[in-house]
């Protein structure tokens, strides 16, 4: 089949496919089939990993700091967002057990 005999152009097929995807998402959104949780209680704050470093071993990491900081919350390590310190989550292991921490002794203690 030559290009002159083609009923539809490639461009029209791509535009139709993109428009169909957008229309499907909009219909699902407006009909309430796509849900957005307003409850931040069980939403993960982030995904973390521990890196084991041997003494004398070089470890490379990004020089840019993350937008999170750690705090000791009721004896457990918590990660909080710099932008919203009230938005924090307890660090847990693969079995959902909290990671313990100790507060540094304050001056005079």
Domain parsing of the chain, residue ranges: 1-36, 63-109
- Alpha carbons 107 and 109: distance in angstroms, whole number: 6
CB half-sphere exposure, 79, CA atoms < 13 A:
14
Query: Does residue 6 carry a pLDDT above 60?
Result: yes
At 20-66, the pLDDT tens digits run: 999 999 999 999 888 877 776 666 666 777 788 888 888 888 888 88
Indicate the pTM of the whole model: 0.48
- Alpha carbons 31 and 24: distance in angstroms, whole number: 11
Q: Using an 8 Å Cβ cutoff, are 67 and 81 in contact?
A: yes
Query: Does residue 2 carry a pLDDT above 60?
Result: no
Q: Which helix (H) or strand (E) holds 80?
A: strand 76-81
């Amino acid at each position: 089949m030559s290009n002159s005999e083609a009923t539809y152009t490639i461009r029209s097929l791509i535009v139709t496919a993109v428009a169909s995807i957008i229309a499907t998402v909009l219909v699902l959104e407006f009909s309430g089939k796509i849900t957005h949780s307003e409850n931040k209680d069980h939403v993960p704050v982030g995904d973390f990993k521990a890196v084991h470093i041997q003494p004398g071993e070089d470890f490379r990491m990004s020089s840019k700091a993350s937008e999170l900081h750690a705090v000791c919350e009721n004896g457990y390590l918590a990660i909080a967002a710099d932008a919203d310190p009230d938005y924090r989550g307890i660090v847990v292991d693969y079995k959902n057990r909290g990671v313990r921490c100790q507060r540094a002794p304050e001056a005079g203690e």
